């Protein structure tokens, strides 16, 4: 069992020096040179690090807020968890070292490209992505839509920085690598693993700003659990209904899509301002099951007609279903997807040049 104390001592012994971020543009095949403790009987797992709280550092071990996210490099994270070598041959790739709120589409495209290249190699059996939790679900959803492989893609993070007395990053990292190395994890799409829970990237969301058990999928449930760092899946591999995948190998940038929040007496002009600033699509985080004001709807209808703006209804509530409205032909219903995931799907649909029929099948599919 992983000792958090030993992890902290390892971090302190390394001086907790912030690692300089760098971009790794090529992913070489894993070899014994990459892993001094290489064991040919274990699977090869590559850890792609992007920063976040799991790589965070604070001045005091009791500090769980106000820390610096993305302060530690992936090599430090790996060295702090020597138990990783009991389950896999691990190798780290530093893609970025940022607060997850600073993740951009270009970083996601680069990350997806590197993961795809790694999984296409016969020398790699799975990958793990370390990520800040604030936007972890968005990146995991993006990878679920763009990485084409049956090999596991597991995204993990932490709610407390690496320097905290109660740091959850080390055990989450060990859990994620263990899941990525498990044959039973294959064919399930991208997974999110934190707090001993295994969830589908398609539906899971962050539900609490501070608590370690924040990632949940209330309606759809978890896919499995970890007991003594051993994954137990509840169901055989399956994909969410309506899931599509996109080829972004030629992408350099993605279309701008903005999310607008619904509230009483909302400002209809915000939609026009978003389009004027470059938005090709809008996601409406509507009231209830996608409600919007009459004045706001009039502006949206005009934007769709005059600018060709793609519009999808979602909801500001934690869960729920936004159903299609056959009387409106200028926007689509987001179904069970929350606004932030609807944004990613709409962004990829616009990039893929979907027409009206394509968007309808993308968002308003029949189960």
Catalytic residue, chosen from 46, 50, 53, 163, is 53
Question: Is 64 among the residues known to form the active site?
Answer: no
**Vertex 314, ends 152 and 199: CA angle to 5°?**
25
Q: For residues 354 and 362, is the Cβ–Cβ distance under 8 A? A: yes
**CA-based nearest residue to 215, from 99, 330, 137:** 137
- Alpha carbons 281 and 258: distance in angstroms, whole number: 7
Which of the residues 46, 64, 130, 133 is marked catalytic?
133
CA 136 centroid distance within chain: 4
CA 277 from chain center: how many Å? Answer: 26
Element (H, E) at 361: helix 356-363
What are the backbone dihedrals phi and psi of residue 307, each rounded to the nearest 5 degrees, phi first?
-115, -10
Query: Taken in order 59, 52, 160, 128, is the CA torsion positive or negative?
Result: negative
| 133 belongs to an annotated ligand binding site | yes
Catalytic residue check, 50: no
- 55 with 162: CB under 8 angstroms? yes
134 is in an annotated binding site: yes
Nearest Cα residue to 248 out of 49, 108, 95, 48: 108
Q: What residues are labeled active site?
A: 53, 133
Annotated binding-site positions for substrate: 100, 133-134
Annotated binding-site positions: 100, 133-134
């Amino acid at each position: 069992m992983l000792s958090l104390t030993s992890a902290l001592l390892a971090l302190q012994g390394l001086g907790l020096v912030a690692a300089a971020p760098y971009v790794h543009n090529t992913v070489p095949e894993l070899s014994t040179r990459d892993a001094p403790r290489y064991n040919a009987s274990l699977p090869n797992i590559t850890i792609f690090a992007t920063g976040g709280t799991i790589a965070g550092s604070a001045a005091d071990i009791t500090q769980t807020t106000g820390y610096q996210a993305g302060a530690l490099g992936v090599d430090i994270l790996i060295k702090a968890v020597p138990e990783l070598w009991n389950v896999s041959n691990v190798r780290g790739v530093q893609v970025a070292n940022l607060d997850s709120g600073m993740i951009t589409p270009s970083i996601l495209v680069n990350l997806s490209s590197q993961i795809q290249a790694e999984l296409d190699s016969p020398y790699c059996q799975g990958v793990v992505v370390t990520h800040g939790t604030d936007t972890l679900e968005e990146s995991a959803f993006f990878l679920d839509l763009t990485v084409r492989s049956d090999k596991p893609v597991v995204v993990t993070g932490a709610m407390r920085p690496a320097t905290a007395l109660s740091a959850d990053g080390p055990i989450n990292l060990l859990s994620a690598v263990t899941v990525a190395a498990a044959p039973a994890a294959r064919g399930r799409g991208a997974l999110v693993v934190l707090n001993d829970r295994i969830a589908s990237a398609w539906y899971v969301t962050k539900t609490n700003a501070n608590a370690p058990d924040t990632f949940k999928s209330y309606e759809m449930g978890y896919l499995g659990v970890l007991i003594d760092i051993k994954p137990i899946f509840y169901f055989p591999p399956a994909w969410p209904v309506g899931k599509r995948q996109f080829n972004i190998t030629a992408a350099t940038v993605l279309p701008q899509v903005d999310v607008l929040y619904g509230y009483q007496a909302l400002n209809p002009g915000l939609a026009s301002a978003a389009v004027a600033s470059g938005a090709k699509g809008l996601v409406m985080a509507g009231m209830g099951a996608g409600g919007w004001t009459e004045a706001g709807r009039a502006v949206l209808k005009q934007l769709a007609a005059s600018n060709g703006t793609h519009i999808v209804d979602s909801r500001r509530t934690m869960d729920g279903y936004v159903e299609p409205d056959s009387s409106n032909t200028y926007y689509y219903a987001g179904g069970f997807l929350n606004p932030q995931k609807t944004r990613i799907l709409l962004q990829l649909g616009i990039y893929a040049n979907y027409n009206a029929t394509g968007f309808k099948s993308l968002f308003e599919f029949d189960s």
